[in-house]
Amino acid sequence: MVLAGRYVVRSPISRGAMGTVHLALDHKTGEEVAVKRLTDVTQVARFAIEARLLSFLSHPRVVQVIDHFNDPSGYFLVMDLVRGADLADVLRAGGNPGLPVSVVLGYAHQTCEALDYVHQQRIVHRDVKPENLILGESGVILVDFGVARQLDDETEEVGTVGVGTPRFMAPEIFAGGAVSERSDVFSLAATVSTLLCGELPRYGDRRSMSDRVPGVSTQLSDALRAGMEFMPERRIASIDAFAKAIGRPLESREGASFVRSMSETEGRPSLIGAVVRTAAGVFDAAAASIALVDPVTDELVFKAAWGAGADEIVGVRLPPGTGLAGAAAVSGEPVLVAACREHPDFAARIAENTGYVPNTMLVVPLRRGDETIGVLSLLDRRDGGAYGADDVTRAALFADLAIVALARGPQALAA
């Protein structure tokens, strides 16, 4: 089978509740790649949005997503093929019954590096388990994001360290609750517990790990219990905090940020960039940006952006009234658009030049007193839906808070 006229599918790599992954040859580069297929057609919109974001991830401990495309047989995500043994195989080969504590903590620390970066970019992996942690030449690599959930796959029997084993998933996922960074914390804690004990943890198991595994300290045991709390509100809240709790704090952060701003210094996003990043997280947007009015020319100047098209949109100037952002700036009223391509005010040419044409968009003015000084734009909800009236109200409140926050930075509102 040849996909997209480029990828020759060779053999299956894995199959489970989160998708089907195959080995393929990329005719364009001559390299072998991993291709993941989505067959649940109800998830295509969400998958397309998320796949675009995954392609921007760049970290030495995170698999590189190199392509995504739609095909008559489904939607596909193409990733670098990471060579090495996954940690489930490492456990089977060397567990007695578990692996040495120091070795497991090393793997855990490297996984924390990967997940901390992913979470900083407002992405949740959703499928952390030993099979998705590959031990390569440079250490652990996080692979196979659970975005492509395949609902018709069969799950392997509970009790085996296999693909799709449900006990690595946070309880709220089964209950249909919100997936968050805490969901990945649970999965990582369950993974560490499995590597130490040589068997899967059970939901609600309150036994002390220090009593079960020689060499496990009380601190590590308590950290794992807190990481696997049934209620997410009682669980360790972040990967950074989990790393500290297991005694392996994250000392430095690598990887490319999704945030771009005109006033970055030494690679660090500005305050206005932080506001944009927060907006993207609060509204679960695939992209977000802030443009400010140039007091001399009355043009809108995009000062900061997060997500798809961020590199290209920062610095772009819109003539007064141009595009959906310009319309919101002129009217001083929010603009809510369900289908951007069909709206007469949509600046299609400018969007195409950034490489990202959104499906839906919400733009709210940034107002200081009676004056509109800029706009906040939110593009594409990541669940594939459209923004609604409730989002308009919330975004307007967020814009008010953003103005207060930016006013504290003397350079933040300078056009």
Kindly list the catalytic residues. 127
Closest CA relative to residue 308, chosen from 269, 358, 273, 342 = 358
For 172, 285, 326, 415, the CA distances from 363, given in Å and listed in that order, are: 32, 12, 9, 19
Contacts of residue 93, Cβ cutoff 8 Å, sequence gap at least 6: 85
* Alpha helices (runs of H) in 61-180, residue ranges in sequence order: 87-94, 101-120, 171-174
| Element counts in the chain: helices (H) and strands (E) | 13, 16
Q: Are 350 and 342 in contact (CB under 8 A)?
A: no
| Nearest-10 crossing angle of helices 389-407, 271-282 | 160
**Strand, coil or helix: 227:** helix
Q: What is the DSSP string of 154-168?
A: PPPPTTSS-TT-GGG
End-to-end Cα spacing for the chain: 53
Q: Which tokens go with 168?
A: 């690595």
